């Protein structure tokens, strides 16, 4: 019961959804739409687990006065305030959640964290782009050409450089990506099949049968 | 020797400072590192340029603040071009998150040319539903948007008297950061109502649009910040505007950043080879 | 210079600097921003999950429109709460089995469709390549690239002889491809940084127009 | 009744304008649309009829589509000149409809004859997806066959994967240094295949961690992945015979927001100074944020993802990177479990098969240029997806 029923549910839905793919009949399409909604709903409930873990992690830190416990108060208060504001006034474009939390807090934090990548690209390139081997030399040269081809300076050096950059992107780069895609797809499908068939069942966890 | 060893483990913070400074500098004082106009941007410019004065250009603002650095300069440059040619500008959008940006452009740009809201420019706002909105606008714009973004009735706006439906508009420029976007304007506005469609896209998604350009379905394309800068330069060269060119400035930053990274890589490699030779 | 008078702009600017300060080193300011970010994102996530997920997808159909089938995702979702009750904690396997089985079942044909069949079609050489000499040459280079790179991913045979040659050619394509992708992405990431800097210089400090 | 109506209608607007006869000869008469076909749209869920026709001459400037059903005749669409097809999705299943098309040029409108009456219906099997079904069946047979072979105890070879050989060393290093190991199972959900692969690797890594008695930290972005990861780690500790060493808060959920997660993991790495970082699973733009911060703290880093766009960043910033499919091979490689090794063999044959199809298909397609072999030009169509 504790292991076999979940395995059977997994097997059943796995097979049904595979079959569904080939059946254009309205009943089949309706089933797909319905279960898609179900998955969304069920996944939404899982947030409870996440929030539980979040609360546990930070209250523990607070209780034991571990290093940085003060910041846990920041996280807990921020979460509490935004939850209350969000649930009380809703999430519409004009709601306080959007105006006072999303726009002034989340948007800049998000954008800054994303923008920090520009700096990391520079330091990663400096550290790793060394022509130690033939392979890393190739990586370096390709990166160089494409980077030059993307800015006006590249065209000033040699007017065909942007074309060369585009060629690298659309010919060798494309070929490598396609080959990776083939491997990834087969690897992924085999993994999915093993999960459906119950050969990979790590997700069940251990413990009592 | 010691110098090269130092270079090999240079503090990353020095790299960050150098890069930060070199990226900021051109934003304050654009250098104009020779942005040359590509054929794709030129095609869009020509198409807008050849619209007879008094006609209306539709611009669809299909992007959010995340894509603002790339697409917002396109919006301002195309609007400036249109006003300089005495075209009217009708703004709309398929993204709810694009509203703030469209409003900003509709308030900031027209005064530069002495243009007035309602007479020379109107922003319709956002309506959910993509194909329904475009097809509805094909029949009658007022059916879809009885009011503009701020709730003014379209009947009260003089510009909308001549613009009843998409057939009255010779061209649309769709500035899109994803879907919905230019592909929807192609699929509905072009195939049904024969509109010319030009587009401006983020650099990442531009490659997907090239086939449409080759087939002639798209009348010009601006790809990323570079595309925006090209358009700004075209507008400036034709004496249509003297305004600050954010995308050209950004392109300068971009160029400097690329150069910094490349110089860093070269320095790193020199240091690496010198120290390796000494060691062996 | 026209420094902004908007409190929200100030908040956004200070948070931006807080995140960027991490580049120098970990510091209390960054720690504050980080914990604020985590907390706010959790609260925002809860509100959005409720208003855009649970309410329209579950509450409305089940309680407003009286569709009894929606009891199933409700019960499955509630099973996640059992995680906190040791005796019945195994019940969370049911919603997990449903989500995983469904996901795997959908993923298998979708992967075959987009990553295998469509990619095979894209790889096939067609008579159109005879149109021009360069088209022909690029097509051949690309074709060889796909094949050699796929050989790199062969696991069940030692890479020696012809297989070694092929897989090493594959590595060349992989490295050129990775380098090109890196170079190509630099531009997009720089755009993000420039966007942030424009916010600071224009919206906050008013140094540029 | 219906044909009669159509006849009546056809007689009306299609009558040639009076000026026609008086006009000088160079004026060409507009031809009616030719080859008008109406049929139930194949492979759909019904309520749709497809129309196709061809232009009788180059004069037509537009087309009118008229449908005659129970509610009588009605013009349902005006198409631009180049648009010679129509998908009527406003029909009911199992009701008969007839169509006719008119070519319009200036004031001229010339109608085609009516099509035979057709009705729409839903289909049970999508024949356009036959290619996918065949591919699926073939690959499934390969997987099942090689798993069965593996069960019989046949020894299966796996080539070296550098990143995975380093796992043992990386865990050992952490023990020596007395520093923790951070394992990020990606930012994907449990429905993402890479996440499943990563969780399986986590199980193997956790076993080694338990044996070496190192500390393990697993931050998560997806609540379900968090739950599964927790179970897996707990189970691994139990399997390694050290269930007591498992710490409740070593596996935890951070937030489901991508960059907030990245910010927090960055902070975690800087403060905990781990000896080893694992980034395995689905990663997006945050890949380099994590990997570069980790590299700066001096940790050994092992990364792997099937996200093609993120691989370059892992390659540059990490010590070892599992490229694409290597991620899926990892759990088999580490556990050496015959069932998993068997499927690895099947994957190899799957790839070989793809290459054979690509090479043979290409040769035949190229041959189709020779008139005698022109039949082969249909091969490309077999790979259309729908």
Q: Is the pLDDT of residue D7 over 50?
A: no
Which residue on chain D is closest to A110 by alpha carbon? D259
The residue that leads in pLDDT, C100 or B212, is C100
Enumerate domains of chain D plus CATH numbers.
Answer: 2-111 (2.60.40.10), 127-141+341-382 (no CATH), 156-336 (3.40.50)
- Cβ separation of A173 and C176 shorter than 8 Å? yes
In a domain, A167, yes or no: yes
Question: What pLDDT does B280 receive?
Answer: 67
Give the per-residue pLDDT at D24.
52
**Given a cut of 60, is residue A209 above it in pLDDT?**
no
Average pLDDT over residues B226-242: 92
Contact: B254, A155; criterion CB under 8 Å: no
A47 in any annotated domain:
yes
Partner-chain residue, chosen from D257, D326, D380, that has the shortest CB–CB distance to C41: D257
pLDDT > 80? residue B227: yes
Do residue B60 and residue B179 come from a single domain? yes
User: How close does chain D come to B166, measured CA to CA in Å?
Assistant: 15
**Subunit contact C112:A83, Cβ cutoff 8 A:** no
Q: In what order do the strands lie in the sheet with D108-111?
A: D72-80, D62-69, D98-105, D108-111
Say if CB C182 and CB A107 are below 8 A apart. Answer: no
Label the pairing between strands D98-105 and D62-69.
Answer: antiparallel
**Best mutation site among B35, B64, B69, B258 for testing chain C: the one with the most C CBs within 10 Å?**
B69
Domain membership of residue A175 as a residue range: 129-198
Q: Is A207 on the interface with D (CB under 8 A)?
A: yes
- Which residues in chain B have Cβ-Cβ distances shorter than 8 Å to A168? none
Q: Taking residues D137-142, report their average pLDDT.
A: 96
In this predicted model, what pLDDT tens digit does every residue of C157-183 receive, in sequence order? 899 999 999 999 999 999 999 999 999
Whether residue B159 sits in one domain with residue B96: yes
pLDDT at D9 exceeding the cut of 60: no
pLDDT band at D326 (very low <50, low <70, confident <90, very high): very high
- Best to test chain C binding among A27, A154, A161, A179 (most C CBs inside 10 Å): A179
Residue A159 lies in a domain: yes
Identify the CA nearest to B229 among candidates B19, B21, B45.
Answer: B45
Number of domains in chain B: 2
Q: Is the CB of A151 less than 8 angstroms away from the CB of B258?
A: yes
Q: Which residues of B touch C197 (CB under 8 A)?
A: 23-24, 27, 253
Q: In this complex, which of D255, D309, D347 lies closest to C181 when CB atoms are compared?
A: D309
What interface predicted TM-score (ipTM) does this complex get?
Answer: 0.90
Sort A153 into a burial class: Cβ within 10 Å, 0-12 / 13-18 / 19+.
Answer: buried
Does one domain contain both B221 and B262? no
Per-domain boundaries in chain C: 126-209
The residues facing B117 across adjacent strands are B121
The stretch C110-122 carries a mean pLDDT of 92
| Residue D107 contacts B where some CB pair is shorter than 8 Å | no
Tell me the shortest Cα–Cα distance from D78 to chain B, in angstroms: 9
Q: For chain A, what is the mean pLDDT? A: 91
In a domain, A54, yes or no: yes
B210 with B250, same domain: the answer is no
Burial letters for D142-170: b for 16+ Cβ neighbours within 10 Å, e otherwise? bbeebbebbeeeeebebbebebbebbeeb
Q: Which helix (H) or strand (E) holds D88?
A: strand D85-88
Residue B151 is predicted with a pLDDT of 86
> pLDDT band for position D19 (50/70/90)?
very low
Between residues 190 and 209 of chain D, which touch chain C (CB distance below 8 Å)? 190-193, 196
pLDDT recorded at residue D26: 54
Q: pLDDT class for D11, splitting at 50, 70, 90?
A: very low
Confidence of residue D225 (pLDDT cuts 50, 70, 90): very high
A 151-170 near D (Cβ less than 8 A): none
Please determine, for residue B76, whether its predicted confidence score (pLDDT) is greater than 60: yes
Structure tokens at A39: 């998955």
Interface of B with A (CB under 8 A): 10, 12, 15-16, 19-20, 23, 33-36, 65-66, 96, 99, 207, 226, 251, 254-255, 257-262, 264-265, 268-269, 272-273
Domain boundary among A37, A71, A89: A89
Is residue D22 scored above 50 in pLDDT? no
Q: Which of C24, C186, C201 sits opposite B27 (nearest CB)?
A: C201
Among B36, B99, B261, the residue with its CB nearest the CB of A125 is B261
Range of the domain at B222: 32-243
A108 and C16 within 8 Å at the Cβ level: the answer is yes
Tell me the helix, strand and coil percentages in chain D, rounded to 5: 50, 20, 30
φ, ψ for residue D251 (rounded to 5)?
A: -110, 120
Question: What mean pLDDT is predicted for residues A83-111?
Answer: 90
Residue D378 has pLDDT above 90, yes or no: no
- A17, A49, A179 ranked by CB distance to C149: nearest: A179
Do A19 and A82 belong together in one domain? yes
A77 and A12 in a common domain = yes
Q: Which residue has the tokens 């304050």?
A: B28
- The answer to whether A71 contacts C177, with C-beta atoms less than 8 Å apart, is no
What is the least distance, in Å, from the CA of C101 to any CA of chain A? 4
A51 and A135 share a domain? no
pLDDT recorded at residue B34: 67
> Which residue of C52, C191, C199, C209 to mutate against B (max B Cβ within 10 Å)?
C191
Chain D residues 4-23 within an 8 A CB cutoff of chain A: none
Partners for B (CB, 8 Å, 3+ pairs)?
A: A, C, D
Confidence label for B189 from pLDDT (cuts 50, 70 and 90) = confident
Strands D181-184, D216-220: pairing is parallel
Residues A76 and A137 occupy one common structural domain: no
CB proximity B192 to D under 8 Å? yes
The shortest CB-CB distance from A152 to any of B23, B33, B269 is to B33
Q: Flag whether pLDDT at A177 surpasses 50.
A: yes
Same domain, A135 and A83: no
B260 and B153 within one domain:
no
Reply yes or no on whether the pLDDT at D47 is more than 60.
yes
Assess whether A73 and A151 both reside in one domain: no
From CA A173, how far away is CA A162, in angstroms rounded? 15
Of A70, A89, A108, the domain-final residue? A89
Between A165 and B213, whose confidence is greater? A165
Average pLDDT over residues A12-34: 95
Question: Which chain A residue is nearest to residue C199, measuring alpha carbons?
Answer: A108
pLDDT beyond 60 at C189: yes
pLDDT of residue A112: 95
> pLDDT digits over D244-277, tens only?
999 988 999 999 999 999 999 999 999 999 999 9
Q: Per the domain annotation, does A118 fall within a domain?
A: no
| Pairing, β D276-280 against β D300-305 | parallel
pLDDT at residue D6 is higher than 50: no
Q: Chain B residues with CB inside 8 Å of C207's CB?
A: 28
- Counting as contact any 3 or more CB pairs under 8 A, the partners of D are A, B, C
pLDDT-derived band at D8 (thresholds 50, 70, 90) equals very low
Considering only CB atoms, B12 lies closest to which of D80, D83, D296, namely: D296
The answer to whether residue D225 neighbours chain C at the CB level (below 8 Å) is: no
Return the higher-pLDDT residue of A126 and D385: A126
pLDDT value of residue C1: 67
CA distance B230 to B224: 10
A189 touches chain D (CB under 8 A): yes
With 60 as the cut, is the pLDDT of residue C83 above it?
A: yes
Looking at residue B135, its pLDDT comes to 85
Nearest CA distance, C26 vs chain D (angstrom): 7
Same domain, B4 and B117: no
Contacts by B263-269, CB closer than 8 A, 24 or more apart: B264/A122, B264/A125, B264/A126, B264/B15, B265/A125, B265/A126, B265/A129, B265/A140, B265/A144, B267/B7, B268/A126, B268/A127, B268/A129, B268/A130, B268/B7, B268/B8, B269/A129, B269/A130, B269/A131, B269/A140
Outline where DSSP puts E strands in D113-195. Answer: 181-184
Q: Which of residues 184-213 of B touch C (CB under 8 A)?
A: 202-204
DSSP-assigned letter for residue A45? H
Give D236 to chain A, closest Cα distance, Å.
8
CA distance C144 to chain D (A): 10
A36 pLDDT tier (thresholds 50, 70, 90):
very high
Of A2-16, A163-177, B195-209, least confident by mean pLDDT is B195-209
pLDDT band of residue D28 (cuts 50, 70, 90) is: low
Exposed, middle or buried by CB within 10 Å (0-12, 13-18, 19+), for A1?
exposed
Nearest to C190 among B16, B28, B257 (CB): B257
| B76 in Cβ contact with B105 (< 8 Å) | yes
Query: pLDDT tens for residues D332-365?
Result: 899 888 888 899 999 999 999 999 999 999 999 9
Cα four-point dihedral sign B127, B130, B131, B137? positive
* Chain D contact set for B12 (CB, 8 A): 296
Q: Supply the pLDDT for residue A109.
A: 96
């Amino acid at each position: 019961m504790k292991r076999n029923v979940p395995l059977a549910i997994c097997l059943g839905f796995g097979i049904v959804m595979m079959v569904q793919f080939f059946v254009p009949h309205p009943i089949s399409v309706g089933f797909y739409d319905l279960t898609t909604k179900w998955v969304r709903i069920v996944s939404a409930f899982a947030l409870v687990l996440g929030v539980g873990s979040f609360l546990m992690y930070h209250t523990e830190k607070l209780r034991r006065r571990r290093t940085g416990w003060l910041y846990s108060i920041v996280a807990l208060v921020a979460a509490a305030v935004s939850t209350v504001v969000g649930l009380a006034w809703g999430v519409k474009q004009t709601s306080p959640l959007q105006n006072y939390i999303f726009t002034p807090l989340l948007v800049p934090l998000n954008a800054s964290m994303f923008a920090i990548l520009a700096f990391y690209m520079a330091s990663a390139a400096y550290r790793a782009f060394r022509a130690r081997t033939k392979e890393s030399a190739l990586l370096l040269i390709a990166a160089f050409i494409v980077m030059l081809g993307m800015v006006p300076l590249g065209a000033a050096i040699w007017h065909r450089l942007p074309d060369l950059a585009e060629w690298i992107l659309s010919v060798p780069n494309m070929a490598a990506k396609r080959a990776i895609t083939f491997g990834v797809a087969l690897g992924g499908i085999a993994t999915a099949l093993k999960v459906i068939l119950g050969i990979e069942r790590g997700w069940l966890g251990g413990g009592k049968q | 020797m010691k110098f090269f060893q130092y270079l090999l483990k240079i503090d990353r913070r020095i790299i960050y400072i150098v890069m930060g400074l070199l990226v900021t500098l051109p934003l304050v004082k654009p250098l104009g590192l020779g942005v040359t106009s590509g054929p794709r941007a030129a095609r869009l410019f020509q198409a807008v340029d050849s619209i007879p004065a008094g006609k209306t250009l539709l611009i669809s603002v299909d992007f959010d603040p995340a894509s603002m650095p790339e697409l917002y300069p396109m919006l301002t440059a195309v609007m400036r071009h249109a006003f300089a040619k005495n075209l009217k500008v009708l703004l709309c959008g398929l993204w709810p998150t694009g509203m703030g940006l469209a409003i900003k452009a509709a308030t900031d740009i027209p005064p530069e040319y002495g243009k007035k809201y309602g007479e020379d420019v109107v922003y319709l706002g956002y309506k959910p539903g993509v194909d329904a909105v475009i097809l509805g606008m094909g029949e009658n714009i007022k059916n879809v948007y009885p009011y503009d973004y701020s709730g003014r009735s379209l009947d009260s706006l003089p510009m909308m008297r001549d613009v009843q439906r998409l057939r009255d508009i010779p061209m649309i420029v769709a500035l899109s950061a994803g879907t919905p976007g230019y592909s929807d304007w192609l699929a509905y506005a072009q195939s049904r109502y024969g509109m010319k469609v030009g587009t401006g896209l983020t650099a990442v998604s531009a490659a997907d649009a090239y086939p449409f350009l080759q087939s002639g379905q798209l009348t010009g394309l601006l790809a990323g910040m570079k595309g925006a800068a090209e358009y700004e330069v075209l507008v400036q060269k034709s004496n249509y505007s003297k305004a600050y060119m954010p995308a050209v400035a950004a392109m300068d930053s971009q160029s400097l950043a690329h150069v910094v990274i490349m110089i860093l890589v070269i320095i790193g490699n020199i240091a690496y080879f010198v120290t390796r030779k000494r060691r062996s | 210079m026209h420094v902004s008078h908007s409190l929200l702009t100030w908040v956004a600017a200070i948070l931006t600097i807080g995140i960027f300060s991490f580049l120098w080193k970990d510091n209390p300011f960054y720690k504050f921003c980080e914990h604020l970010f985590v907390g706010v994102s959790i609260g925002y996530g809860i509100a959005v999950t409720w208003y855009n997920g649970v309410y329209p997808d579950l509450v409305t159909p089940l309680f407003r429109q009286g569709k009894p089938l929606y009891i199933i995702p409700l019960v499955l979702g509630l099973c996640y709460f059992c995680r906190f009750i040791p005796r019945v904690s195994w019940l969370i396997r049911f919603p997990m089995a449903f989500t995983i089985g469904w996901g795997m079942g959908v993923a298998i044909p979708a992967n075959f469709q987009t990553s295998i069949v469509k990619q095979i079609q894209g790889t096939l050489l067609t008579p159109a390549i005879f149109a021009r000499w360069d088209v022909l040459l690029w097509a051949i280079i690309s074709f060889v690239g796909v094949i050699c790179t796929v050989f790199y991913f062969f696991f069940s045979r030692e890479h020696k002889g012809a297989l070694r040659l092929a897989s090493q050619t594959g590595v060349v394509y992989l490295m050129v491809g990775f380098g090109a992708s890196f170079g190509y992405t630099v531009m997009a990431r720089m755009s993000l940084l420039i966007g942030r800097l424009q916010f600071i210089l224009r919206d906050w400090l008013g140094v540029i127009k | 009744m219906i044909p009669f109506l159509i006849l009546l209608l056809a007689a009306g607007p299609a009558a040639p304008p009076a000026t026609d006869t008086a006009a000088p000869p160079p004026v060409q008469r507009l031809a009616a649309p030719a080859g008008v076909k109406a049929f139930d749209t194949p492979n759909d869920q019904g309520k749709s009829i497809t129309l196709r026709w061809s232009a009788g001459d180059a004069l037509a400037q537009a087309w009118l589509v008229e449908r005659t059903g129970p509610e009588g005749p009605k013009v349902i669409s005006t198409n631009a000149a180049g648009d010679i097809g129509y998908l009527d999705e406003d029909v009911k299943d199992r009701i008969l409809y007839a169509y006719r098309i008119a070519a319009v040029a200036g004031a001229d409108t010339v109608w085609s004859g009516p099509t035979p009456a057709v009705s729409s219906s839903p289909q049970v099997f999508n024949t356009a997806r036959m290619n996918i079904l065949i591919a699926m069946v073939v690959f499934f047979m390969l997987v099942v066959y090689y798993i069965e072979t593996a069960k019989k105890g046949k020894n299966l070879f796996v080539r070296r994967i550098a990143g995975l050989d380093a796992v043992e060393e990386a865990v050992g290093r952490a023990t020596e240094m007395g520093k923790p190991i951070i394992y990020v199972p990606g930012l994907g959900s449990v429905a993402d295949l890479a996440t499943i692969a990563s969780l399986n690797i986590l199980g193997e890594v956790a076993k080694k961690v338990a044996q070496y008695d190192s500390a393990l930290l697993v931050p998560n972005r997806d609540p379900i992945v968090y739950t599964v990861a927790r179970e897996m780690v707990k189970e691994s500790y139990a399997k390694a015979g050290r269930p007591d060493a498992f710490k409740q808060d070593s596996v935890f959920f951070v937030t489901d927001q991508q960059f907030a997660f990245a910010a927090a993991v960055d902070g975690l790495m800087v403060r905990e100074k781990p000896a080893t970082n694992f980034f395995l699973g689905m990663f997006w733009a945050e890949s380099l944020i994590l990997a570069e911060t980790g590299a700066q703290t001096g940790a050994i880093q092992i990364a792997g993802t099937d996200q093609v766009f993120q691989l370059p960043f892992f390659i540059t910033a990490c010590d070892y990177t599992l490229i694409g499919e290597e991620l899926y091979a990892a759990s088999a490689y580490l556990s050496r479990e015959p069932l998993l090794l068997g499927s690895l063999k099947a994957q190899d044959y799957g790839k070989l098969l793809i290459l054979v199809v690509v090479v043979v298909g290409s040769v035949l397609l190229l041959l189709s240029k020779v008139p005698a072999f022109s039949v082969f030009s249909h091969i490309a169509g077999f790979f259309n997806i729908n």
